[in-house]
Amino acid sequence: MRRIPVCLLIAGIIASIILVACSPQTSDGQGSLRSDLAYVTISRQVLLDKIEGGWGGQMAGVTWGAPTEFSCEGEIMDEVPEWETWRINEAFSQDDLYVEIPFLQAMKEHGVNASWDDYGDHFKDTRFMLWHANAAGRGNLQRGIPAPASGHYAANPHADDIDWQIEADWAGIITPGQPEAAVDLAWRAGHVMNYGDGVYGGVAVAAMHAVAYFAKNVDEIIQAGRQAVPEGSKYRQVIEDVIGWHKEKPTDWEYAWNQLQEKWGNDDRCPDGVDDPFNIDAKLNGAYVFIGLLYGEGDFEQSMRIAMRCGQDSDCNTSSVGGILGNWLGFSKLPDKFIAQIDTDTRFSYTRLDYGDLIDLSEELAREIVTLRGGSVQGEGEAQEWHIPQSQKIMPPILEQWPEEKNIPPRLDVSIEKTEGRNVILSAEASDDDGILEFQWYFGDMYYQTGQRVTHTYLQDGNYLVTGYVTDKKGTTSWQVIEVRVNE
């Protein structure tokens, strides 16, 4: 277990989580800072404490909620099981945890800019038990349907299910203080098994994890999840509804639950949930995550308890809440009764990674992402500091919705207009009978931008896979991938 000495941790917290403006310097990726960026700075010991908190919080949440999974469908849970300290090690055999690891391993093998094919290949070859969108997505991959078509509703009737929401935590854990990078990762990887609102669930969770590293309060975390989901989507409407009900009665979470159940409780397109109290839809269960965070007010145990009592996929929702708050509080501040008995030598099922390996890999990938995006890691040992590019307002992904009726996707053609040094100009043409709503570009370096014609400057030389997206006015998307060579 990566425990940090208390005296060092307190000193690190006091001295290291600060906003800094860079003095004019050049950037070498690892040492000097850039003159054109402002940074958030965090010490390595605090960073590791928060990484471990993100994973430990998930483990506590999923194992506390495990006995209650789908025990309450369409009603509030009366009681939750008493926590027993030994339960935490059952997390090593929970799909909420082990399904995340192939995505991390894809990045370890192919770099942090792993492609759809890289994610798909690692997911396709897994042998663990899966259900719903995960099972359908993997089956599609094994039948030769590649990502992102593997998660598309045309081939995956579980496209709006909860699956990506419960396993996107890793995308936020390895992007500390960089919600845009978390959104980029969660949006791309989530299409392996989901589409539209099913992907937005993971996007929201990942963004909240990333912001939690530096958030002053839980409201900042909740707002990050809200901002990461585009207006016009059902998922965003659910979030707005929950926040609105909280404002009406800020101490009565059951009021919000009842309002939610009346409006959204039967909105479920999963083949197993139609006309049934069982509801595994990402939006409804995501709302339970937001209810737990809003009404729990930062209390780790109480927030998880509320999310669990909301019912449906009660272990997964409790895990999401626990992981997000674990990232915020840090492992050292989690109640000892939940995490004291973690067996650090146990491997996660179907993987070669134990608990310590997972923390180490998360730090390694986080370092690569920070430096790729213009940040810097300076110093050694206890004096090491991470300088992370300061986040701006979160830009949500493009609007994407599973249409109620069959709808032909837009016709799209993307092109490279010009490359000069590290600067590239990209443009797109599209047409659709419903009208074109928006274009969006993912540049392959954890940055993305909206617009039909865009200019982007890469921070490093190399080859990048750029994805151009377009959506029509009903939220039906098309995409095209092209390669951009920067000084190669």
Locus of tokens 């192939």: 102
pLDDT digits (tens, 9 = 90+) for 229-240: 999 999 999 999
Can you say whether the dihedral through the CA atoms of 151, 156, 161, 167 is positive or negative?
negative
Q: Beta-carbon neighbour count of residue 450 at 10 Å? A: 14
- Angle between the 116-124 and 179-190 helix axes, to the nearest 10 degrees? 60
CA distance 441 to 452: 9
Closest by CA position to 163, among listed 136, 145, 144 = 136
Yes or no: say if 235 and 264 are a contact pair by the CB < 8 Å rule.
no
Say yes or no to pLDDT of 21 above 60.
no
Task: List the single range of 14-23, 157-166, 210-219, 233-242 with lowest mean pLDDT.
Answer: 14-23
What pLDDT does residue 369 have? 97
Question: Are 48-339 and 411-486 equal in CATH topology?
Answer: no
Q: Environment class of residue 70 by beta-carbon count within 10 Å: exposed (0-12), middle (13-18) or buried (19+)?
A: middle
Which whole number is the average pLDDT over 15-27? 34
Domain boundaries along the sequence of the chain:
48-339, 411-486
- Angle between the 44-65 and 314-329 helix axes, to the nearest 10 degrees? 160
Spell out the SS3 assignment of 156-186. Answer: CCCCCECHHHHHCHHHHHCCCCCHHHHHHHH
Closest by CA position to 174, among listed 367, 34, 423, 35 = 367
pTM for the whole structure: 0.94
Say yes or no to pLDDT of 192 above 80.
yes
pLDDT digits (tens, 9 = 90+) for 268-296: 999 998 889 999 999 999 999 999 999 99
What pLDDT does residue 271 have? 94
CATH 1.10.4080.10 fits 48-339, yes or no: yes
Task: Tell me the CATH class for 411-486.
Answer: mainly beta
What are the residues facing 468 on neighbouring strands? 441, 480
